[in-house]
């Protein structure tokens, strides 16, 4: 399928894991993808991979917690294309374990998990509005936003904020033809997975991961490409009447 032929996409947090898979999927369906990441090297590597596969992409170094950096990304897209059809906000981090969280940890988690998503979506909004009813915003939250994380209440708090934000922004965007949706992945086989299960010193990450996966109805974690396929659907015309929704992509975890 080439559902994004001639369209412009930006994946903020596109340099690794789910963001990398999403960048690849959108490019494989015809989008020119701006791969934005805190790591310039990671963004360049993904853009090179996309080019090697026959797609087109532009790597951009972006600090998603810095509004000037986000604005610079959208200024570049505006000058080069004048429009943005697909915007995905992927940036996030695991929260600290427990409830004893100092001010610095608190602020960092707010900045990475909440501030980055809010300003990525709002500072790029005018470019999506210019897409003549084809604008799509997607965000990545977590199942911890839906069922709570006993390991990190701060993570549940910050990721949970994206769910009502999605509904509110969808209502704002509807008259402008901008759709807004959020996904809530469960366990995904990415480089960040070990950080979720390795918060406590001396934790046996492999054993904790195995125990958690055993509770997933489908009996396994997701591959990043399985997350990317859901984002591609939501961003495409196949989902033209879908907005304001929260979709768990979790192997049935939240159905229990």
For residue range 180-214, what is the model confidence (pLDDT) as tens digits? Answer: 999 999 989 866 655 555 555 555 556 666 677 88
Is 155 catalytic? The answer is yes
Question: What is the structure's pLDDT at 256?
Answer: 87
Please give the CATH superfamily to which domain 8-189+224-249 belongs. Answer: NAD(P)-binding Rossmann-like Domain (3.40.50.720)
β-strands 56-61, 86-89 pairing: unpaired
Question: What is the structure's pLDDT at 213?
Answer: 83
8 A C-beta contact, residue 133 and residue 177: yes
Round to whole Å and give the CA distance between 143 and 157: 12
Round to whole Å and give the CA distance between 140 and 154: 16
Question: What is the structure's pLDDT at 145?
Answer: 95
Name the residue among 50, 16, 134 with its Cα closest to residue 85. Answer: 134
Question: What is the structure's pLDDT at 200?
Answer: 56
Question: What is the structure's pLDDT at 193?
Answer: 55
The pLDDT tens digits of the residues spanning 39-89 come to 999 999 999 999 999 999 999 999 999 999 999 999 999 999 999 999 999
Name the residue among 1, 12, 6, 36 with its Cα closest to residue 137. Answer: 12
Using alpha carbons only, give the angle 83, 89, 92 rounded to the nearest 5 degrees.
160
Q: If you average pLDDT over residues 143-161, what whole number do you get?
A: 92
Question: What is the structure's pLDDT at 97?
Answer: 85
Round to whole Å and give the CA distance between 133 and 177: 4
Highest mean pLDDT among 92-101, 215-224, 225-234: 225-234
So where are the chain's domains? 8-189+224-249
Q: Please say if the pLDDT value at position 232 is more than 60.
A: yes
**Cβ neighbours of residue 187 under 8 Å, at least 6 residues apart?**
193, 209, 212, 213, 216, 221, 222, 250, 251, 253
Provide the whole-model pTM.
0.92
Q: Which of 34, 119, 125, 155 is catalytic?
A: 155
**Cα distance between the two ends of the chain:** 34
Give me the torsion for CA of 204, 20, 112, 215, rounded to 10°: -40
Q: Please say if the pLDDT value at position 14 is more than 80.
A: yes
Q: Please say if the pLDDT value at position 1 is more than 60.
A: yes
Strand order in the sheet with 8-12: 56-61, 32-37, 8-12, 86-89, 135-140, 178-185, 246-249
**Cβ neighbours of residue 130 under 8 Å, at least 6 residues apart?**
82, 83, 84
- Residue 128 φ/ψ region, left for φ over 0, alpha for ψ in the -120 to 50 degree band, beta for the rest: alpha
The pLDDT tens digits of the residues spanning 104-141 come to 999 999 999 999 999 999 999 999 999 999 999 999 99
């Amino acid at each position: 399928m080439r559902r994004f032929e001639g369209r412009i996409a930006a994946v903020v947090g596109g340099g690794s894991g789910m963001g990398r898979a999403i960048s690849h999927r959108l490019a494989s369906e015809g989008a020119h993808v701006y791969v934005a990441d805190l790591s310039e090297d990671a963004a360049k590597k993904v853009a090179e991979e996309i080019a090697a596969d026959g797609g087109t992409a532009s790597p951009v170094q972006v600090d998603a917690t810095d509004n000037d950096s986000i604005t610079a990304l959208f200024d570049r897209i505006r000058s080069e294309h004048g429009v943005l059809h697909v915007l995905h906000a992927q940036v996030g981090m695991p929260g600290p374990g427990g409830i004893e969280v100092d001010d610095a940890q608190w602020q960092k988690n707010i900045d990475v998990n909440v501030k980055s998503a809010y300003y990525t979506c709002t500072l790029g909004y005018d470019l999506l509005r210019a897409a003549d009813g084809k604008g799509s915003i997607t965000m990545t939250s977590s199942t911890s936003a839906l069922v709570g994380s006993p390991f990190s209440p701060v993570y549940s708090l910050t990721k949970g904020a994206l769910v009502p934000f999605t509904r509110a922004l969808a209502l704002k965007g509807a008259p402008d033809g901008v759709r807004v949706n959020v996904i809530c992945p469960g366990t995904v086989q990415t480089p960040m997975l070990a950080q979720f299960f390795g918060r406590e010193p001396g934790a046996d990450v492999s054993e904790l991961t195995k125990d958690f996966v055993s509770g997933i109805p489908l009996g396994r974690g997701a591959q990043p490409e399985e997350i990317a396929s859901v984002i591609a659907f939501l961003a495409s015309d196949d989902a033209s009447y879908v907005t304001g929704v929260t979709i768990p992509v979790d192997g049935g975890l939240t159905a229990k």
